[in-house]
Chain A
Amino acid sequence: MSARWEADVDALAQSALEPASAVEDVVLPPGDGWSAVVAAGGRLRIVDVDGKQGVDALFYDADEVTNRYSNTETVIAQGETYLTTGSRLLTVNGDELMVIVADTCGRHDTMGGACAQETNVVRYGTHTRHEHTCRNVFLALAAKHDMTVRDLTHNINFFTNVPITPEGKLSFEEGISAPGKYVELQATRDTLVLISNCPQLNNPCNDFNPTPIRIVRWDRAAVDALDTPAPVA
């Protein structure tokens, strides 16, 4: 197998946080949306419950939503087009929103964008025009937070394998995730997160069978407790 289809195994990292201390722990069916503010110092874990499920996510400075996630700022600051443990999610102004602190999958995309009815037609034909897509989910989530289409930019596709080759090819390929794999992000500042559990049926981003994900959110106190050694009995 070529390196371009492999995760960086050296970047794999687990989290010691337990869901028992979380403030939110939900299962999100495929095609559904979720949003919340992850408080500074808090964390968000996304679990690929059944494996090979694409999860589209957008990020905003909760205090100033025009200071939003930028895939290009994130990529050029790190010189890397794939995301994994240690990747810093940066805004259009270069501010850090979140950091990936644990990752058992090893590779996530931020160049492939979200599926939309209109581009489904371009990619797969007119018969897909009325299929459900991530852009529809994002439009609804944006409205909930008083944002519009102008606020929707290019997202992260967690658990999605979009290799970029030296020859200049970019394509959605079979996923490298598996049941139970997860990614965990820690917020550097209060961050509004929009998630679409991708309903795409026409490419391997969901293994042609969209499945549920689990979302677990912790506040700072739980994360701080993790770093504090337990008192000696």
Chain B
Amino acid sequence: MSAASTRPRDPLQVGPPRLSETVPAGGAWSHVLKLGTALRLTALDDGANVSTLLFNQDLLPERLNLPDTLKSQERACVAPPMVLIGEMGSALGTVTGSSLDWHDALCGHIRDEQVRERWGESSYATDRNEWRRSAREGLLREMAKRDLDRRNLHQCVNFFSRAQPLGDRRGRLAFVEEHAAAGDWVELRAEVNLLVVLSTAPHPLDERAAWSPSGIEVEIRDVGVAGADDPARGFRDQSARALDQTRRLHA
């Protein structure tokens, strides 16, 4: 955690968290983030990746729609102060801050087969709780606890990761190894009661020789709802309209 002390803390981060716990490397976690709270993820080691799915808990099966999120705000990645837009056109959450200006939104999550191919067989019997499990396994497991299944799967955000578009004729991507360092953070404010399902397994383009995912710290704080002068409203007209649609949702 030495790098953490060298990075600026967000001045908006005040008061004790409602919840503070860690998710180990290669683990999975889910929580309904209440409207008016924010979730802060902090990387505990270098090279973190957090494959994250979002659902509108009160209007399931509505889920995050990344193509709509990206094209509406004309961005190929997720960064503050973008809103994350659901299938019904409202902002489900807002990225209110981050020490990084790029979080991958193009690559999806890693599957069992890819984990086995890259880092070999692993099982509970041989490796106990250090066994290497994929994001697919972790996400589906957390979803199943809430009666959601593979039909509810959708394109995830990979917080802390970057696959760099090369701008060539084929639109090739190059994975940036260790885009994030220990102490990097991102904060997501809930605009609805937001089901967050996440996995700390490696990014699907991570081909580093060693299985080296990072654990994360998760903290939840009261932050209130987006005000009229919220930075997301000033980002793009589309971001403001998505927040307007959330207000319509609550009508």
Contacts and interface: CB of A to CB of B under 8 A. Distances in A.
B205 interface: yes
Contact of B153 (A8, A92, A119, A121): A92
Contacts of A114: 67
B89 A119 contact: yes
Contacts of A207: none
B71 A170 contact: yes
A85 B101 CA distance: 34
B241 A125 contact: yes
Given A66-B150, A71-B155, A122 B67 contact: no
Contacts of B102: 168
A71 B105 CA distance: 12
Interface string B53-81: 00000000100011110111011110100
Interface in B108-145: 108-109, 111, 113
Contacts of B68: 113, 116, 119, 122
Nearest to A71: B155
B75 to A, nearest CB: 6
Interface of A is mostly: loop
A6 interface: yes
B172 interface: yes
Interface stretch (B12-20, B23-31, B160-168): B160-168
Nearest to B156: A72
A76 B71 CA distance: 20
Given A76-B108, A116-B89, A123 B71 contact: yes
Given A118-B88, A122-B242, A170-B71, A79 B172 contact: yes
Given A79-B172, A82-B170, A119-B68, A111 B89 contact: no
A3 interface: yes
Contact of B165 (A8, A11, A151, A164): A164
Contacts of B250: none
Contacts of B172: 79-81
Interface string A74-102: 01100111101000000011100000000
A151 B154 CA distance: 10
Given A73-B108, A164-B165, A166-B165, A122 B76 contact: no
Given A76-B204, A81-B165, A92-B153, A168 B113 contact: no
Interface size range on A against B: 35 or more
A81 B173 contact: yes
A118 B169 contact: no
Residue of B61, B70, B108, B170 with most chain A CB atoms under a 10 A cut-off? B170
Nearest to B70: A170
B71 A121 contact: no
Contact of A122 (B61, B150, B241): B241
B197 interface: no
Residue of B66, B70, B79, B205 with most chain A CB atoms under a 10 A cut-off? B70
A96 to B, nearest CB: 14
Given A151-B151, A165-B167, A122 B111 contact: no
Given A3-B169, A122-B241, A166-B164, A153 B106 contact: no
Given A76-B108, A82-B170, A122-B68, 17 more contacts: A3-B169, A66-B150, A72-B107, A92-B150, A111-B70, A112-B67, A118-B87, A118-B88, A119-B72, A119-B85, A121-B89, A122-B72, A122-B242, A122-B245, A150-B61, A164-B165, A170-B71
Interface of A: 2-4, 6-8, 11, 66, 70-73, 75-76, 79-82, 84, 92-94, 107, 111-114, 116-123, 125, 149-151, 153-154, 162-166, 168-172
16 contacts: A73-B108, A75-B107, A75-B173, A80-B170, A81-B173, A82-B169, A112-B67, A113-B67, A119-B85, A122-B68, A153-B153, A154-B66, A154-B154, A168-B79, A169-B75, A171-B74
